[in-house]
């Protein structure tokens, strides 16, 4: 059975991805603080769980060591873990502390976890890597600039790793979710529902974690293996421009 690591798997998009992949893969799902949510995922799917702060080099190395102990190979890495800023502040007032916290988790962490996984996969001459980014990679929100910058950087990371790993047989993809119903948007969910009903999205419904999970499924099943570097917009058409 193929193997997969899904970071940030205990809740939200990551949980949806882990549930979908567990049908066909042996999965390690990481979590940072909510062990109860991770244990619930484990009970539901039978996947392995591993506590990991993706911003920590020590934790990243421990995760890969754990995966090597459990699996003979690694077929799929899904870089999903990410955080929103603890406080939303206009960029004129934003703090360096929160900037560093968001960038370390959302950009530096997956970039260097990919480095570790890519070395393993390159030795196999096969593998797939997914970065879950956001429409915030190109949509400016001036009250959470650090989040937008982290996701824009992650989009470039996809291009870099896709270019570097193509000849090693490792395919790299970006999934760019739009407005997805998760804990992260719970505080503004009603507002988004109203904006979507008013025409924010061509497909007038909010996305669900399963929508993102199905895009990962297509990658995991090899349906896009001649499309390394591809960006999959899972956003209800938000990226479209129309007059």
Q: Which residues are catalytic?
A: 147
Half-sphere exposure (Cβ direction) of 150: Cα atoms closer than 13 Å:
28
Q: Are 132 and 54 in contact (CB under 8 A)?
A: no
Half-sphere exposure (Cβ direction) of 195: Cα atoms closer than 13 Å:
10
Cα distance between residue 170 and residue 106, in whole Å: 22
Q: Are 58 and 109 in contact (CB under 8 A)?
A: no
Helix (H/G/I), strand (E/B), else coil: 131: strand
Residue with tokens 């039978």: 46
The neighbour count for residue 124, using CB atoms within 10 Å, is 14
């Amino acid at each position: 059975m193929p193997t997969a690591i899904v970071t940030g798997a205990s809740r939200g998009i990551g949980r949806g991805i882990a549930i979908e992949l567990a049908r066909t893969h042996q999965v390690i799902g990481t979590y940072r603080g909510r062990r109860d949510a991770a244990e619930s995922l484990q009970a539901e799917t039978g996947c392995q769980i591993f506590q990991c702060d993706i911003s920590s080099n020590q934790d990243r190395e421990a995760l890969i060591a754990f995966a090597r102990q459990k699996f003979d190979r690694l077929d799929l890495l899904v870089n999903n873990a990410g955080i929103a800023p603890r406080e939303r502040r206009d960029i004129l007032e934003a703090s360096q502390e929160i900037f560093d916290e968001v960038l370390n988790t959302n950009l530096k962490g997956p970039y260097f976890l990919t480095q570790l996984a890519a070395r393993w996969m390159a030795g196999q001459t096969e593998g797939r890597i997914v970065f879950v980014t956001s429409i915030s990679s190109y949509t400016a929100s001036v009250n959470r600039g650090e989040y937008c910058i982290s996701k824009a950087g992650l989009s470039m990371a996809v291009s870099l790793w896709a270019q570097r790993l193509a000849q090693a047989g490792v395919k790299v993809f970006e999934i760019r979710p739009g407005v997805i119903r998760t804990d992260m948007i719970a505080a503004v969910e009603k507002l988004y529902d109203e904006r979507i009903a008013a025409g924010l999205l061509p497909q007038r419904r909010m996305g669900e974690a399963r929508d993102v999970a199905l895009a990962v499924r297509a990658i995991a099943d090899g349906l896009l293996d001649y499309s390394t570097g591809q960006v999959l917009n899972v956003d209800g058409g938000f990226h479209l421009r129309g007059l």
